[in-house]
Structure 1
């Protein structure tokens, strides 16, 4: 079947589209992403076709190609969606006037809730990134580090405010990576952790661990 021959545009990340309205592109792509994740999980990446993706998302095959150029683009957009959700959740916690450990605790809680909601997205990202073209692998790794950078930036901003001691750059980096990994650990180990903890209990306990790393600075 011939694809729509409209002129292709590229978004900031190099994903092709034929639609000029960026808000509509974001909306439709998220619809495609959320509809597609379980197809990749259920059928496997290689056995999932663009026709299956279009049907699941409620598009014709021609309409699908107005928003993405390939199945690989959809997989990349899954990874991008995770980063967008984390960034949104953390930014919302920064809109409050609180500083110190309370703000950090809220940001961690929101991040862990994103990992709970997007469990399949995260698992898929790690299982099938190897099948992406090199340009998308690089972007996925950048997005992955970008999640850590969100927390490094937050910790840098909160260092020395409220009840948080002044943190050196190494501690900020290590704690940022810890937060990122512990959130994703819920996705990887939820099959067993959820038998012992709710996501809120998990978040509370892991936050205590993270704050312990931070407040250890007061003793050193």
Structure 2
């Protein structure tokens, strides 16, 4: 279940606009300084409005971190729903879905870094909501892989399907937190192509 963040303002369009600004400003600050060393006043300034305005849209700083991570997962989920085709059940369609997911993760590098660095700072009432979204997205990859198995394009056990789905999800995000090393050896395109080759090298495919 999605956790609602309190706002004293009732205009939904204005809430979205201000929180978009807030998220954008907070991402860079959290990456550079970390969540705990960043102040709400700094976030307000980076967002382009006053500290008083900031508190019309959140109650506490932890709400901002939740909004950053929650928005990231919503964007990933929405794109996955467009890119992953469970109906085709072909290796080609699965590879396309993985390719687009890896590209999206590279485009969201800043958000991914914040998520990995600061997820531990989420409160006990917000962390389950975020983790459930991640598990649901891993499940989307599971569904596509199962479809390939059902149509005879892959031969995998249930446990292998689950592990491969988790591997895809994490490897897609690896470019963000290992780019400092990876880009010395590979372009993003080369990284994606090689990761996909390695993933499928471990799967038993029909000829």
TM-score, length of structure 1 as denominator length: 0.81
How far the C-alpha of 1:22 sits from its partner, in A, is 4.3
Change (3 A) 1:107 1:131: same
Equivalent positions of 1:61-72 (< 5 A) are 61-72=51-62
Report the counterpart of residue 90 of structure 1 in structure 2.
Answer: 80
How far the C-alpha of 1:100 sits from its partner, in A, is 1.3
Post-superposition, which runs of at least 4 consecutive aligned residues in structure 1 deviate over 6 A?
Answer: none
**Match 1:117 to one of 98, 107, 119:** 107
Change (3 A) 1:180 1:94: closer
**Match 2:120 to one of 122, 127, 130:** 130
**Match 1:152 to one of 142, 156, 176:** 142
Unaligned runs of 5+ in 2: none
Report the counterpart of residue 173 of structure 1 in structure 2.
Answer: 162
Matched, 1:200 2:189: yes
Counterpart CA distance in 2 for 1:56 and 1:91 is: 32
Change (3 A) 1:20 1:210: farther
Matched, 1:182 2:171: yes
Calculate the aligned-residue CA RMSD, in Å: 2.7
* SS in structure 1 at match of 2:202: helix
Counterpart CA distance in 2 for 1:90 and 1:72 is: 27
TM-score, length of structure 2 as denominator length: 0.85
Indicate if the aligned counterparts of 1:167 and 1:217 stay in contact, CA closer than 8 A.
no
Q: Give a deviation string over 1:93-145, Cα, whole Å, max 9, x none.
A: 24798651222112111211222122222222222222232112323332332
How far the C-alpha of 1:167 sits from its partner, in A, is 4.3
Indicate if the aligned counterparts of 1:82 and 1:121 stay in contact, CA closer than 8 A.
yes
Counterpart CA distance in 2 for 1:152 and 1:53 is: 38
Report the counterpart of residue 40 of structure 2 in structure 1.
Answer: 50
| Number of residues of Structure 1 aligned to a counterpart in Structure 2 | 207
Report the counterpart of residue 35 of structure 1 in structure 2.
Answer: 25
